[in-house]
Structure 1
Amino acid sequence: MYNIIFFQIFHFFKVFIKLYKYRTSKQHKNRERMDQENKKLLLQFQGEMLRIGTVVGFKHFSMTLQGREEMLLKIKTSSKIHALPPESSFLLAAYARYHSPYVWLRSENQVLLKMTRTVNPDNPLNLQSVQNWKNGTIHVWDVIQELVQYCHNTTDVNPFDVNLNHFYSLKNKAEQYLSTAAMINCLQKILLASQPNVHVTKSISKDIYKLTKVHFQGLETLVQTKSIPILKQYEESQMNRPSKSLPWASNYASSPSKLSPNLWAQQTKPPWM
């Protein structure tokens, strides 16, 4: 009888250990899969930071890249909110060791800390866009949009308003051509990926239309003045390219009058005859 009881207890522990190992292994695999997915999303987020961080000409904010994982964001605050400073600085970072993007306030702004329900100023801001990031539908411009709306204390503002005077004032047509192309591409991605509200969508679409006109006007000027580097290189290569004359044509050009008709015909015979 004791042997039977001992056998049953032994069998129970054996089954329990197998179940425990199976569960632990499954949790480990799930954790690895989630880590891989988070890593992929973070790399995508870092890539978006690199692309949008080089775009210049937004009305409400400016960006400065500080390596692959950091971007300094300066946002102009609304003049209607007297408690806020004229400009607020943020550090938008996507550190690999944290497995998630975060935003830190880098200027004295107690109002924004209260608005974002952030107790400790040394901690990352409590942003809805960052919390929803792991869903895979949040992009860099969604985080920027939320910050601009906080700084203006309204959701009606278009965070991506373009400072058109910046592009009009560019005297270098090549710089104007490239900068407008970068801004148009950025705005198109924002429209396609984030699908903002109707007001923001109309405002962005108008800016894209105006920038496209400036872009092609600059391109037309560059073509007319032959100021596009690749066109210059092509024309120079064509001018310096030696002319390829056919051997039978060169023989004829030498002195056809000194050759007898038969000999001249043999030496100047084209290769296809």
Structure 2
Amino acid sequence: MEAFYRDCLRFGCLANFKHFSLYLRGREELLVTIRHPPEAEGASHAASVNQKEKNKQATFGVTSQQLPPASPATRESSSDNPTETVFLIGAYARYNWPYVWLRSNLGKFGGNSADKDLPLDLNTTQRWKEEGFRVWDIVEELVQMNVVPAPLDPFEVDFTAFDVMPDLERSLLAGALAFFLRDLLLRDIPYAEIVQRDLLRVLEVHFRGGGVPIESEEKEG
């Protein structure tokens, strides 16, 4: 689990993603908030059907045994914001395996309040060791399950968020994001072209240390 812990520490410190935010809570817990504006939910019948099919892939109870997280649901916020869904990724030494628990909007997966301490049955957690999945692979699956229509790039960067950041903080975060996006490009991903475009813009933010760069197409125009 040491490699997974290192991934959580590195990934959990990142910010300014369009479709999700991260909050690192200690060595073994990562809170992931998936953003999905109401207008995107059920925008069409086809999208609604697609969403239902995705949600079928996640069920409560990985095994016949209950595997509660170290932070039970009673300690979490009970707010159900219709534009967000919160998940807890736990990589506890006592389980020696990463699991994911739902922390809001329980009804969208057909569960009830009694299910909050049961882990979700996800492909990336089931096949974590076999496929060598990383923590960001788990987040990618959560984004694809919850955002309708599914984004082409689950790790799309929200460049407007850089506007309100102090220069030094903006430069440091942009550097960390660039390092992460570069690593994504070393893998066989279907959205590599989009990631490469974001990487170039993030590098410009990092080295300029000033405002957010404009799109390259606008520069050429």
Q: TM over 0.5, yes or no?
A: yes
1:214 matched to 2:209: no
Question: Which secondary structure does the structure 1 equivalent of 2:94 belong to?
Answer: helix
1:80 CA drift (Å): 2.3
* Alpha-carbon distance in structure 2 between the residues aligned to 1:77 and 1:186: 23
Matched, 1:81 2:76: no
Q: What secondary structure is seen at the aligned counterpart in 1 of 2:161?
A: helix
What aligned pairs does 1:54-203 form with structure 2 within 5 A after superposition?
54-78=13-37, 79-82=39-42, 85-113=82-110, 120-170=115-165, 172-192=166-186, 194-197=187-190, 200-203=191-194
Structure 1 letter corresponding to 2:7: E
Task: Decide whether the 8 Å contact of 2:40 with 2:149 is kept in 1.
Answer: no
What is the CA–CA distance in structure 2 between the aligned matches of 1:91 and 1:174, rounded to whole Å?
A: 30
Instruction: Kindly indicate which of the two structures has a greater share of residues assigned to strand.
Output: 2
Q: Distance in 2 between matches of 1:189 and 1:148?
A: 19
Q: Percent of aligned pairs with the same residue?
A: 36
What is the aligned residue count? Answer: 170
RMSD: 2.2
Q: Which runs of 5+ in 1 are unaligned?
A: 1-41, 220-273
Q: Identify the residue that residue 75 of structure 2 maps to in structure 1.
A: none
Structure 1 residue 201, shift from structure 2 partner: 1.1
1:213 CA displacement: 1.2
Aligned-pair CA distance for 1:157: 3.0
Larger radius of gyration: 1
Q: Distance in 2 between matches of 1:134 and 1:113?
A: 28
* Bigger helix fraction: 1
Amino acid at match of 2:192: T
**Aligned partners of 2:130 and 2:86: how far apart in 1?**
27
**TM-score under structure 2 length normalisation:** 0.70
Say if 1:152 and 1:133 are closer, same or farther in 2 by CA, change over 3 A.
Answer: same
Where relative contact order (Cα < 8 A, 6+ residues apart) is larger, the structure is 2
Q: Structure 1 length as normaliser, TM-score?
A: 0.58
Contact 1:141–1:190 under 8 Å retained in 2: no
